[in-house]
Structure 1
Amino acid sequence: MDEQSPLGRGRRAAPPLRDIDPVLERITARLAARHGRAFSKETVERYVEECSWVLSAKARVATHLPVLVERFADQRLGALARGMGLSPKPVPEVLFVCTENAGRSQLAAALLRHRAGDGIRVLTAGSEPGTEIAPVVLRLLAEQGLDADEEFPKPLTREVVTAADVVVTLGCGDACPVRPGRRYLDWDLPDLSGLDIESARAVRDGLATRVDALADELLPTRVPRR
């Protein structure tokens, strides 16, 4: 099944990185095998190329780029397939959106993953994504014995919004597109940037309270808090 350009920009050339084409070909082959029941190889290739172009604009370390491209393209293709009903959607999906996808959205996502386990699929995105997760987020998670797993800042795309059952915005205003049938929540908590550590901890604790309440609503059976 073919799709129009995912971000509405038309097909983009791969970024000008040395030897990137063979890398993208290998990524495309792996993702085509994984998503072949839903999408043609051409569609997968277009997503891979576009993800490479988008992420390379902000990449600090080019050697890490292929890994991020594969994760981002995989997430988008999976979300597209679920949103279109082309693959199973066994659990509710929650999308956290903030401006840079480096602070509150990442913190909330890590807390919900810990709280819900495999009972809820959790995704994140940013309206103007940064280059890396904020150090304060990593510190706040480490204090709870948690980490950000393999997360990284990534742009908001229509696929993840379409797949989501609940979209939680954290300071990104009206940047998130509205899709019928989705539940939208706006959690009004301060940006972590510039806060002292005690104030940042208060934000984390406020997010934890909201995350617990959301998990209790969405999980089919109550999962004990860990």
Structure 2
Amino acid sequence: MTAIFADRFSIVREDLHRRFGGSVEAREIDRVVDETIQAHTETSTVDEFLPVLVEREARAVLFEMGVKRPEVLFASKNNAARAQLAMAYLRHLAGDKIYARSVAVESQIDVDPLVLQVLEERGISTNALYLKEDVARTAHRADVIVLLGVDETPDMPGKRYEKWDLKHPRDLEQVRSAADFVESKVRELIRDLGVEL
């Protein structure tokens, strides 16, 4: 498979790893995707919709092999504090049982050093925090999109939207207070998604 052709399926592969990575081994997900791509590219005369067909068929196979894990997308203005706190707490509390992402609805800036300090004070790993441009998927939707202190909905499809009223924290005490609020809301969200810890 050429690199250009393989790249057409990179989002499909990424989405399926996100969805099934908690219960199906990575090499098995890749095997299912590769076999599905191979089967469709050998028989298809029109390849415009191949990624959608591959995603649907591979997802059906993976449903038989494991459990689809819920996905939560946290969105804040700059993805520097609130969304990063929420993502860190969700990963800390739920581990691989829920897939968490964060995104900026306006402009992406670096993670606030005060957020890193507060998470480290509480023994929560900051290794998973990241800054990454996210792209909308045509066939992929997060289970829950949480808007933290913003009204703008990101250009990301979601099955359900929640708004958490939380102002951007400006100093250490505000970050600690925001972390307390976020922890409480994240625990509630985990229960709501039916995930046992």
- Give TM class, smaller chain: 0.5 to 0.7
Once the two structures are superposed, residues 102-145 of structure 1 have per-residue CA deviations (whole angstroms, 9 ceiling, x without a partner) of 21111100001111111111111112343421101101100111
- Distance (whole Å) between structure 1 residues aligned to residue 178 and residue 138 of structure 2: 25
Q: What is the Cα deviation at residue 77 of structure 1?
A: 5.1
**Matched residue, 2:145:** 167
Alignment CA distance shift 1:125-1:172 (3 Å): same
**Matched residue, 1:153:** 131
Number of aligned pairs? 154
Q: Percent of aligned positions with the same letter in both sequences?
A: 32
Q: Find the partner of 1:203 among 172, 178, 182.
A: 178
What SS does the aligned partner of 2:73 have?
strand
- 8 Å contact 2:88–2:128 — kept in the other structure? no
Q: What is the Cα deviation at residue 178 of structure 1?
A: 6.5
Q: Find the partner of 2:14 among 78, 90, 95.
A: 78
**Matched residue, 1:177:** 155
- Distance (whole Å) between structure 2 residues aligned to residue 119 and residue 80 of structure 1: 14
**Matched residue, 1:105:** 83
Q: Note the aligned Cα RMSD (angstroms).
A: 3.0
**Matched residue, 1:5:** none
- 8 Å contact 2:92–2:125 — kept in the other structure? no
Question: Which structure has the larger Rg over C-alpha atoms?
Answer: 2
- 8 Å contact 1:161–1:167 — kept in the other structure? no
Once the two structures are superposed, residues 67-107 of structure 1 have per-residue CA deviations (whole angstroms, 9 ceiling, x without a partner) of xxxxxxx7x85127859544446211111111211211111
Alignment CA distance shift 1:80-1:91 (3 Å): closer
Aligned 1:24-35 pairs, distance under 5 A: none
Query: Is 1:187 matched with 2:152?
Result: no
- Distance (whole Å) between structure 1 residues aligned to residue 139 and residue 148 of structure 2: 15
Aligned 1:6-45 pairs, distance under 5 A: 40-43=5-8
Alignment CA distance shift 1:178-1:138 (3 Å): closer
What SS does the aligned partner of 2:116 have?
helix
Aligned 1:81-96 pairs, distance under 5 A: 84-85=55-56, 86-87=58-59, 88=62, 90-96=68-74
What SS does the aligned partner of 2:137 have?
helix
**Matched residue, 1:120:** 98
5+ long unaligned stretches in structure 2: 20-51
- 8 Å contact 1:102–1:152 — kept in the other structure? no
Q: Find the partner of 2:189 among 191, 194, 214.
A: 214
- Distance (whole Å) between structure 1 residues aligned to residue 154 and residue 70 of structure 2: 19
What SS does the aligned partner of 2:96 have?
helix
- 8 Å contact 1:123–1:160 — kept in the other structure? no
5+ long unaligned stretches in structure 1: 1-27, 33-39, 48-73
